[in-house]
Amino acid sequence: MDMDKGDSKKLNLLSEIKLGPYTLPNRICMTSMTRGRSDPKTGVPSELQVEYYTQRASKTAIIFTESTHISPDSISMPGGPGIHSEEQVAGWKKVTDSVHKVGGKIFLQICHCGRAGRSSTNDVIPVAPSALPIRTIKEVDGKQEIVNSETPKELDQDGINQIINNFKTGAENALKAGFDGVELHGAYGYLVDNFLRDASNTRKDQYGGSVENRCRFPLQVIDVLVEVFGSDRVGMKVTPVGRYQDMFDSDPIKTYEYLFHELSKRNIAFVELLQAPEFVPVSNLYKIEGETQIPNVFETFRKSFTGVLIGNNTINKEKGNSLIESGLVDMVSFGRFFISNPDLVERFENNWELNNNLDYKSFATPGAEGYIDYPRYEKK
């Protein structure tokens, strides 16, 4: 894990680290961010994406791509890339070749949208472990009401098997496309997350109920990814306290301690773990009982996983250095800082001022504006 074990030198964001087969120059990762620049009809990565990832690659330890769908029916929004067609593989190959030319490492984040899908996007009813829609609380005539999204179809065993096979094929395609590894998207209310947490998984078969059963599908997907890439080039992103897209768990500590122990047994390379930026009170409309708050996510789960732990969410340079020095995380992934600072690592190295002038309107819209036109630092 750490290259400096036993060394009196303090570790920080700029310290080298060993991750799987790779010796990385620092501990700074670019996290996965949905940006909507792929071809909306084909899911083929564009030339804009080649430029975008290359701009940020040369000194970054690892770049994680935006979430990438494994089949035509697993995409949640137009403009998201896929990894299930020859054209998509060829498009991603342009990205990985360009990133490698500047000395970077890039992992594909592989994903199925689950109940976050919309039939208006991919012409099929979304699927999930249980037929439970995403609930959103909205103000209607001055009162709070729950508005349900489209109700997903509950997966049967054949459907589960097919999706697992699609994940394996997606990993095989990622290998063909030249990726250095893969990260399973197990966060933000997408399919893997839907199986993990008991607010979205009320099944009565081998995939529901107990923690062991709810972790079964995520671990089966991890196993097929490992078959393709080997355990040392596979990781997983999780949000134990994330509430995005109506995601909750009655006992997240028990759920994720079990998951992390199982991932450790498989010797996967890393887990990217999100802390909650703040705790939002759960509305009484949801009627969720027994929800557990976890104020210190990194401290809670640090000992549960033996691989590299990557901290994420609302972390700045100072906080990142502190977390690494204390041993609570091994690496840190940054999102918005990387959007407006393509040279983020150099700015950290030289204590240069960060560009915080983010164009939020262009986060996930087509075109170069707000995507590849952020400037590098210029000395005055």
Residues marked as catalytic: 190
Task: Give the DSSP letter of residue 270.
Answer: E
Burial class (CB in 10 A: 0-12, 13-18, 19+), 96: buried
Burial class (CB in 10 A: 0-12, 13-18, 19+), 88: buried
Diameter over CA atoms, the chain: 64
Q: Let me know: does 30 contact 331? Beta carbons within 8 Å.
A: no
Output Rg (C-alpha) for the chain, integer angstroms: 20
User: What's the rounded Cα separation, in Å, for the pair 113 and 192?
Assistant: 8
Using the structure block, give the residue that is written with the tokens 């920080």.
12
Of 112, 108, 34, the closest CA to residue 71 belongs to 112
Per DSSP bridges, beta strands 143-148 and 135-140 are antiparallel
Of 6, 8, 127, the closest CA to residue 69 belongs to 127
CB within 8 A of 164, min separation 6: which ones?
217, 220, 221, 224
